């Protein structure tokens, strides 16, 4: 995707596989919508055959290879923020919520965060889903850890270090 955006002369910033500060968002989305699924599936099949030596035999027996859901990879689950201030406000609110000390000893559950982040939510199911996605992101970044066999989360040591740097 970044090669296609480069060819179109669209300016952007990149962090690993994420593109942000895209100068022409509409054109970038158009490029993403036109990803050639069949060509990409062929490339993925070639890689799969190199990695999995039994794939050829499985194809002979089952008459089927890997099923690639390529269309879904062009849509990010991240939120597009239209301004840096909006991003910073949401990030700060979330981070300050988990780091304010209330949850350091007893931990927290989805509902604890939801009541703080979305106090006036008219759709409880939607707020629950948003909070679940936030918890997954926090876990993926190592900022919280889940207690075994429960719905409870605890703030990680890494989050404490990051919090100290954040406050400077």
Q: What is the mean pLDDT of residues 3-29?
A: 83
Which residues of the chain form beta strands (DSSP E)? 13-15, 18-20, 144-146, 153-155
Task: Say if CB 109 and CB 152 are below 8 A apart.
Answer: yes
Nearest to 130 by CA among 92, 78, 67, 81: 78
| pLDDT score of 77 | 43
2, pLDDT greater than 50: yes
- Pairing state of beta strands 153-155 and 13-15? unpaired
Give residue 74's pLDDT. Answer: 42
**Confidence at residue 148, expressed as pLDDT on a 0 to 100 scale:** 92
Tokens 């794939």 label which residue? 55
Mean pLDDT, to the nearest integer, of 131-148? 87
- Residue with more model confidence, 72 or 164: 164
Q: In angstroms, rounded to a whole number, what is the distance separating the alpha carbons of residues 168 and 98? A: 18
- Beta-bridge partner residues of 14: 19
Q: What is the per-residue pLDDT for 161?
A: 75
> Is 66 in contact with 48 (CB distance < 8 Å)?
yes
Domains identified in the chain and CATH numbers: 2-34 (no CATH), 37-71 (no CATH), 84-167 (1.10.10)
Pair type for strands 18-20 and 13-15:
antiparallel
What is the model's pTM?
0.48
Cβ–Cβ < 8 Å for 153, 104? no
* Look-up of token digits 């596989």: 17
Encode pLDDT of 81-136 as tens digits: 556 566 566 677 777 788 878 888 889 999 998 888 888 877 788 889 988 988 88
**Tokens found for residue 19:** 């593109």
What are the phi and psi torsion angles at 102 (to 5°)? Answer: -60, -35
**CA-based angle 113:103:138, to the nearest 5?**
55
- For 40-96, the pLDDT digits (tens) are 777 888 888 888 777 787 778 777 777 776 554 444 444 555 565 665 666 777 777
């Amino acid at each position: 995707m970044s090669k296609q955006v480069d060819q179109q002369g669209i300016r952007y910033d990149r962090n690993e596989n994420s593109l942000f500060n895209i100068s022409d968002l509409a054109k970038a989305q158009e490029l993403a919508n036109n990803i050639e699924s069949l060509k990409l599936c062929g490339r993925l099949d070639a890689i799969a055959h190199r990695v999995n030596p039994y794939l050829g035999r499985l194809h002979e027996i089952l008459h089927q290879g890997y099923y690639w859901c390529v269309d879904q990879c062009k849509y990010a689950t991240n939120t597009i923020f239209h301004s840096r201030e909006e991003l910073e406000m949401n990030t700060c609110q979330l981070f300050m919520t988990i780091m304010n000390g209330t949850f350091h000893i007893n931990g927290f559950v989805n509902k604890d965060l939801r009541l703080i982040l979305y106090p006036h939510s008219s759709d409880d199911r939607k707020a629950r889903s948003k909070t679940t996605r936030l918890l997954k992101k926090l876990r993926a970044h190592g900022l919280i850890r889940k207690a075994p066999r429960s719905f409870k989360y605890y703030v990680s040591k890494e989050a404490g270090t990051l919090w100290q740097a954040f406050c400077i």
